[in-house]
A and B are shown apart, each in its own frame.
Chain A
Amino acid sequence: MTQIELRGVQKFFGAVQVIKDLNLKISDNEFIVLLGQSGCGKTTTLRAIAGLETIDEGDILIDGKPIQHLKAADRDIAMVFQSFSLYPHMSVYENIAFPLRATRKSKSEIDQEVRSVARTLQISDLLAKKPSALSGGDMQRVAIGRALVRRPKAMLMDEPIGALDAKLREEMRAEIKRLHIKQGSTTIYVTHDQIEAMSLADRIVIMHEGVLQQVGSPDEVYSRPANLFVAQFVGSPVMNVADAAVAETASSVSVTLGGAAAGFEFPQALLSKLNGHAGDQLALGIRPEGVLIRHDAAKGFLPVETQIVEPLGSFDIVDLKVGSKMLRARTKSGFVSGPGERVFARIDPAQAHFFDTASGKSLGVRL
């Protein structure tokens, strides 16, 4: 049973504030992913929890007890580093046994636990090898083994699979998830890769310039981004964002993007949902799958010209010129023959997001 809580955590590197008033509650057995670009403070947050970095203000609590003054060794937390950090002069066995040797455990106990962890991670046949003789994936398994063997209160992982190649990364991602389900421990995982975050997390914590942007399940941050940053950071291909002008017509509402001649049709309910913000500077966000296109004209579809087609195998990404903006749409592969084709496009109101341009905040419109 391990709960971790951050209360008003602040951290400065000289004059630069890298963590700004961070508040976060992590419950037992939860898999939390800290997601953000490099330099957003996610790794510093992780290192502060581990005790490798001091904090300037606030509290870090484990099971309700403040631990920010404890040394790393006394926090009973394990960490997996991006560089694996396997001790090069020790065998795999010695590496995994190393955290246990810091405790008062007997030789036979240590041996038993090392072998049991090695079995779980399927690295029993590697125990005698030196880290330099291992493949990237095996190094990572050993690093995870070294973290698991002590049965720590919490596992911290700093981009643990960031150094692996793409295929291996996918395998290890699944393995980490399987291991978490099997072993169950409170885990904080840092990454800049939103796909990793989406696939692993119970909850994703998105950070930007030291400020927490949104905390939520993968589905929440994907379908209900709290602001423009989250909207554009989560999801691949990236969400389309364009300045939008909302105008009332006879039977519906028209949303014009990027100063185009004609607007996209939205239901009347948009006006009430916008709650008086209709006249403000607004931005419309729409994921590529929310841009619907067809070959023939239909009610509500605007004629547009295709600019670029990116075939991605299972689907194509088609750039459409709308006013001064490019709108990226996701289509079946081969749906559009090539650039310069005239097609008809519509924005699915149910997938549209409206943001206040000035603050970047989502207006929470759900149609």
Chain B
Amino acid sequence: MAAVRTSSEIGFNRVAIVAVLVVTIIFLAPIYWIASTAFKPRNLATTIPPTIVFQPEISPFVKLFTKRSQMRSPPSPEEYAAAPWWERVVFDGGEKIVRDGKGQVQWSGYPSRFLNSLIIAITSTVLAVGMGTFTAYGFSRFKVKGEADLLFFILSTRMLPPVVVAIPMFLMYRAVGLNDSHVGLIILYTAFNLSFSVWLMKGFMDEIPKEYEEAALVDGYTRMEAFFKIVLPEAATGIAATAVFCFITAWNEYAFALIMTNRRAQTAPPFIPSQVGSGLPDWTVIAAGTFLFLLPVAIFTFLLRNHLLRGMSFGAIRK
């Protein structure tokens, strides 16, 4: 191989870099849009053409987390001076934060919805990945009667758009009292993700040479010990990749969350758009809610990024 790159190679590299930049900009534009809107003053959120340069504000986040009411007249100078900084930014928009009789700030519905989302997405991800890992190990290592049929059956649960079964699911859930409950959504999301998790993990399991476990078996360990001491650490990459995908699916799910929950167990996705309806739509508040909602997935994916990259290419190469 020549060590010197030809001019056509350099030209190709430049074109490739430009193409990657364009694609990156296209992908990141909506995220920039949401993030910038979340920090905009309300009157700049819907200007045409869009305002690019502005003084960022924290008020959309304050509004997102609190209950507010319209003020008939502006606050008195004493009232303004006595208020904490985060309340003043609301005054500027002609609103005030609602307090109860003891002067406690009234929270909006957003924090509890966000917490619901976390509880439901994390629990269902742990369950789906956990069960998927065990199932995949079984299929990968043992002779299972009708293995191909069973795996196809597991996959077939993904062949309909899930919403098709929304109405029967709703009726069944109502009959057994699972609607608007955390457990209900956790079961639902676990079931959604399980087939995906089984198939993905089976691919990863198949890639782990079974000699590792056999070595552990002759080294004096039971199969269960071999699974936990040898197979699981080897499968970490696959588990991380599967977990990211399952978490994103559960975190972003909208349709069932909208139908099955309304208050107690409602997750953030159906809650955020519901805020459009209260009074004039305040897009900055919705953008703030969406922006915060993006963060867990971004952080989770960022933490597992090394595993993910290896996970994506894992299984593509035969050794």
Interface residue ranges, A against B (CB under 8 Å)? 50-52, 71-73, 75, 77-79, 81, 83, 85, 87-89, 98-99, 102-103, 146, 150, 156
Contacts and interface: CB of A to CB of B under 8 A. Distances in A.
Contact of B234 (A50, A77, A81, A88): A88
B218 A73 contact: yes
Query: What 6 pairs between A and B have smallest CB-CB spacing?
Result: A102-B220, A99-B219, A85-B211, A85-B215, A72-B217, A89-B233
Contacts of A51: 217-218
B217 A98 contact: no
A54 B273 CA distance: 61
Contacts of B92: none
Contacts of B219: 73, 78, 98-99, 102, 146, 150
A189 to B, nearest CB: 15
Contact of B218 (A50, A87, A88): A50
A150 B222 CA distance: 17
A250 to B, nearest CB: 66
Nearest to A149: B219
Given A89-B233, A89-B234, A77 B211 contact: no
A80 to B, nearest CB: 9
Given A50-B218, A52-B218, A98-B216, A85 B233 contact: no
Contact of B221 (A73, A75, A83, A156): A73
23 contacts: A50-B214, A50-B218, A51-B218, A52-B218, A72-B214, A73-B217, A78-B219, A79-B214, A79-B215, A79-B218, A83-B211, A85-B211, A85-B214, A87-B215, A89-B234, A98-B216, A99-B219, A102-B219, A102-B220, A102-B221, A102-B225, A150-B220, A156-B218
Contact of A85 (B209, B220, B221, B225): B209
Contact of B212 (A85, A102, A150): A85
B230 interface: yes
Contacts of B221: 73, 102
The bracket for how many chain B residues form the interface is: 10 to 19
Contacts of B214: 50, 52, 72, 79, 81, 85
Given A88-B234, A89-B233, A83 B209 contact: yes
Nearest to A82: B211
Nearest to A75: B218
B93 to A, nearest CB: 56
Nearest to B233: A89
B288 to A, nearest CB: 43
Contacts of B230: 87
A51 B219 CA distance: 11
B207 to A, nearest CB: 12
Name which of B217, B222, B234 has the most chain A CB atoms within 10 A of its CB: B217
A89 B212 CA distance: 11
Nearest to A74: B220
Contacts of B209: 83, 85
B71 to A, nearest CB: 62
Contacts of A83: 209, 211
B217 A52 contact: yes
Contacts of B215: 79, 81, 85, 87, 146
B212 A87 contact: yes
B143 to A, nearest CB: 11
Given A83-B209, A87-B212, A103 B220 contact: yes
Contacts of A72: 214, 217-218
Interface string B263-288: 00000000000000000000000000
Contacts of A73: 217-222
A367 B217 CA distance: 52
Contacts of B234: 88-89
Interface string B11-51: 00000000000000000000000000000000000000000
Contacts of A81: 211, 214-215
